[in-house]
Amino acid sequence: MNEYRLIIVRETPHHVYFNLFVNGSLSNMQGFLCLEKDAFDRLFKDLFRASKGKCIRAYCQNPPTEFFP
């Protein structure tokens, strides 16, 4: 069973920028993933159900100092 972590780096009024970890490994090596807020919530709910609760959503402790979407 896979374990997922969605680490939110930045939230704007319409979008969420985040990193996706699967089983402790970063899966998006090219940069942050970006989704609209409702699509991000849907992704979290789908991964939570599929992994039987092994999915967490958290905020980044050390976001980038200069982040321009």
| CATH code assigned at 23 | 3.30.420
Per-residue confidence of the chain (69 residues) as pLDDT tens digits? 889 999 999 888 999 999 999 999 999 988 899 999 999 999 999 999 999 989 999 988 876 666 555
DSSP string, 19-55: EEEETTEES-TTS-EEEEHHHHHHHHHHHHHHTTT-E
User: Is residue 68 domain-resident?
Assistant: no
Residues spanned by the domain of 34: 4-59
The whole model's pTM is what?
0.83
In a domain, 65, yes or no: no
Whether residue 69 lies inside any domain: the answer is no
In a domain, 67, yes or no: no
Count of structural domains within the chain: 1
Check residue 2 and give its pLDDT.
87
pLDDT value of residue 31: 87
